[in-house]
Chains A and B, each alone.
Chain A
């Protein structure tokens, strides 16, 4: 693999530049943890206030789609990790296909999410637009769905950004990969895994409460 000869003057060497970039991504992930952290905190506060409403709301989520999506996203993360692991001059073709595969799985996730949103719209579960739910638990259920939509929409936005990143890297890898792109791939993979981890938390918080009992 050709060494990218030019690096910006503030770096001492190519590895210095690459490690600096990686630290940047870690700090960025720290800021993202707090972004989702604030949201999850608000979710937990209201779940504590409305345990029955949240359990009832949770039972109206589409667990089959949610579980499928979890599997899809984990597989996609696996493909990205694989691509980082085997990245070398001899493997550009495989790396490209692994990245394309991961990006496609990301799109599958987003499409399934869209289908899920559509079903929830049909069942009048979208607060602020078309929410209808009768009974004493209605307030709790509405708050549950507010957080459901805000959290999953922000997560889906992160997915979309990640898909764009993976596709860009796939195109670069097919054309002229250098060591610099290995560092970029490494950082993009960190981001993708982070988005995956956030989903695991959201899945546990959104789909599972109240499932064990009726």
Chain B
């Protein structure tokens, strides 16, 4: 093993900004996503401070509209969708399949530049005055009435979409073509199955969003009546096209998280994943059925009752593969030798929070209840349980799990566990009261509310303060460990995956010689023996 690794091959800025190494591109994404996460988080903080009292103390209604729109746009398109695929995925996909890089390394770099271009354009729209339409850009408000930077923001998202498509394309081709000898589909780590399913959605759904935003911008710019009922257009068509992307997009956000959890649960209970094939195919089932449920966002839009019933039924169906996964994780934990390391704490938090998020999703799939809960804080709480409690928690878990591989350094277990517990506590205190607020009828997107809702809002804002501190903590202890942490061994968790068979951090082309796979994944019990560690 050479002592040069991917971080030390070259130190120039040029070597970073023109790199085609998937590991360095993952770091570029990582840095950009931290930036976007804190912008989106700052907007969330302002929202929660405003909502601590029933009156409008901090911002006007117009500024409030721009704040929650900015929070939504940044978090959805510039953090949640790229988070796990583009950072952890970019880093570990080639390592996990024993390849020396992704199939198209230059395309990979290009997709980072496209992402940054889209991000900068969207940030420009926000700095220039912001957007007040909500992240969904519903017509006719966005096309006729809004006096904000709708076209610029849409252009940024449109461009960032190309980045999503190219990343998905790269993953699909890589997983098909570059697997190491012996690495059959049923020997593939489950994280890769979930990324494969995610990539299929990225490739097939994102172009529909692109064309939708293009039509919206055309409508707004020329006033030609695509969505304007006065000229015969149909505002509902926008919602159909928008949710045809945006519902599958929530699976873009959660499937990679589920994939990470498979790795963590198996590793820290030292057991094979229970029902490997079911978990694998459930990823694809979620991706496939996820394309058929968009209409549950439109139950109160005036679509036909038959359509609503079909979409309601399909939404219940899509819960089945998700539930299978949860049961398989718990079955994996059963009689496992469970180690409560920081990544495992995140994984356990994920299972709990995702289950709450998923079950409340069934409330909303239920036609009768959804009519009551539409546009209330119940919906806000539900999707934050999935996207923040699920996705962000899984992201942090995966980050801690692969951190020694990425940086070659170990972090402080004490601080990592403390942060994990604080995140879990702060998260529940923030979002659980919102279920109650929603059930009692507090509508979302309002900055003033009747005084009787204040107690739950104060609890929620207090939880948000804890959550904010907890999300800042990793910045410090992980940042410290990246430079001063103890050196990590090649395989600190004694895991059998291929990514742990090379040094930490890996050399430039990952493996000194082509690995050959001869056994099923997750062989913690029978065949896998812990190798002596040299720290």
B100 in complex: contacting residue of A9, A16, A128, A150, CB < 8 Å: A9
Interface mask (A28-48 → B, CB under 8 Å = 1, otherwise 0): 101110111111011001100
A28 / chain B contacts, CB cutoff of 8 Å:
169
Does A128 contact B241, Cβ atoms closer than 8 Å? no
B211 in complex: contacting residue of A10, A35, A140, CB < 8 Å: A35
Q: Is A49 an interface residue (CB 8 A)?
A: yes
Q: How far is the CB of B97 from chain A (nearest CB, A)?
A: 10
Does A24 contact B222, Cβ atoms closer than 8 Å? no
Residue of chain B at shortest CB distance from A20 = B177
User: How far does the alpha carbon of A9 sit from the alpha carbon of B419 in the complex, in Å?
Assistant: 40
B225 in complex: contacting residue of A30, A32, A142, CB < 8 Å: A142
A9 / chain B contacts, CB cutoff of 8 Å:
100-101, 509
Q: Is B207 an interface residue (CB 8 A)?
A: yes
Does A128 contact B222, Cβ atoms closer than 8 Å? yes
A35 / chain B contacts, CB cutoff of 8 Å:
207-208, 210-211
User: How far does the alpha carbon of A53 sit from the alpha carbon of B232 in the complex, in Å?
Assistant: 11
B146 / chain A contacts, CB cutoff of 8 Å:
none
Q: Is B446 an interface residue (CB 8 A)?
A: no
Does B178 contact A49, Cβ atoms closer than 8 Å? no
Does B232 contact A42, Cβ atoms closer than 8 Å? no
Q: Is B390 an interface residue (CB 8 A)?
A: no
Known: A34-B207, A42-B241, A146-B218. A8 touches B101 (CB 8 A): yes
User: How far does the alpha carbon of A50 sit from the alpha carbon of B225 in the complex, in Å?
Assistant: 13
Size class of the B contact interface (CB-based, 8 Å)? 35 or more
B206 / chain A contacts, CB cutoff of 8 Å:
31
Does A127 contact B203, Cβ atoms closer than 8 Å? no
Does A16 contact B177, Cβ atoms closer than 8 Å? yes
- Residue from A8, A45, A49 whose CB has the most chain B CB atoms within 10 Å: A8
Does B208 contact A27, Cβ atoms closer than 8 Å? no
Q: How far is the CB of B431 from chain A (nearest CB, A)?
A: 34
B178 in complex: contacting residue of A20, A34, A39, CB < 8 Å: A20
Q: Is A19 an interface residue (CB 8 A)?
A: yes
User: How far does the alpha carbon of A154 sit from the alpha carbon of B218 in the complex, in Å?
Assistant: 12
User: How far does the alpha carbon of A90 sit from the alpha carbon of B237 in the complex, in Å?
Assistant: 55
Q: How far is the CB of A154 from chain B (nearest CB, A)?
A: 8
Does B172 contact A27, Cβ atoms closer than 8 Å? yes
Known: A24-B103, A31-B204. A139 touches B225 (CB 8 A): yes
Does B221 contact A37, Cβ atoms closer than 8 Å? no
Q: Is A23 an interface residue (CB 8 A)?
A: yes
A34 in complex: contacting residue of B205, B223, B234, CB < 8 Å: B205
Does B204 contact A30, Cβ atoms closer than 8 Å? yes
User: How far does the alpha carbon of A142 sit from the alpha carbon of B165 in the complex, in Å?
Assistant: 32
A10 in complex: contacting residue of B94, B165, B176, CB < 8 Å: B94
Known: A9-B100, A24-B169, A142-B231. A34 touches B226 (CB 8 A): no
- Residue from A32, A42, A142 whose CB has the most chain B CB atoms within 10 Å: A42
Interface mask (A126-168 → B, CB under 8 Å = 1, otherwise 0): 0111010000000110110010001000100000000000000
Secondary structure class of chain A's binding surface, majority of residues: helix
Q: How far is the CB of A31 from chain B (nearest CB, A)?
A: 5
Residue of chain A at shortest CB distance from B207 = A35
Size class of the A contact interface (CB-based, 8 Å)? 35 or more
**B173-229 interface (Cβ within 8 A of A):** 173, 176-178, 203-208, 210-212, 214-215, 218, 221-226
User: How far does the alpha carbon of A150 sit from the alpha carbon of B173 in the complex, in Å?
Assistant: 31
Does B169 contact A31, Cβ atoms closer than 8 Å? yes
Q: Is B233 an interface residue (CB 8 A)?
A: yes
B203 / chain A contacts, CB cutoff of 8 Å:
27, 30-31, 34
Q: How far is the CB of B22 from chain A (nearest CB, A)?
A: 9
Q: Is B353 an interface residue (CB 8 A)?
A: no
Does A128 contact B237, Cβ atoms closer than 8 Å? no
A42 / chain B contacts, CB cutoff of 8 Å:
211, 215, 226, 237, 241
User: How far does the alpha carbon of A143 sit from the alpha carbon of B225 in the complex, in Å?
Assistant: 7
Residue of chain B at shortest CB distance from A140 = B232
Q: Is B521 an interface residue (CB 8 A)?
A: no
Does B224 contact A128, Cβ atoms closer than 8 Å? yes
B104 / chain A contacts, CB cutoff of 8 Å:
24
B233 / chain A contacts, CB cutoff of 8 Å:
46, 143
Does A139 contact B207, Cβ atoms closer than 8 Å? no
Does A24 contact B232, Cβ atoms closer than 8 Å? no
Known: A30-B204, A127-B222, A143-B226. A8 touches B173 (CB 8 A): no
B204 / chain A contacts, CB cutoff of 8 Å:
30-31, 34
- Residue from A31, A150, A154 whose CB has the most chain B CB atoms within 10 Å: A31
Q: Is B99 an interface residue (CB 8 A)?
A: yes
- Residue from B169, B172, B176 whose CB has the most chain A CB atoms within 10 Å: B169
The 6 closest A-B pairs by CB, nearest first: A128-B222, A139-B232, A35-B207, A38-B211, A10-B101, A127-B224
A-to-B contact residues, CB < 8 Å:
8-11, 16, 19-20, 23-24, 27-28, 30-32, 34-39, 41-42, 45-46, 49-50, 53, 127-129, 131, 139-140, 142-143, 146, 150, 154
Sample of 10 A–B contacts (CB below 8 Å): A10-B100, A23-B177, A37-B208, A38-B207, A42-B226, A128-B224, A139-B225, A142-B224, A142-B231, A146-B225
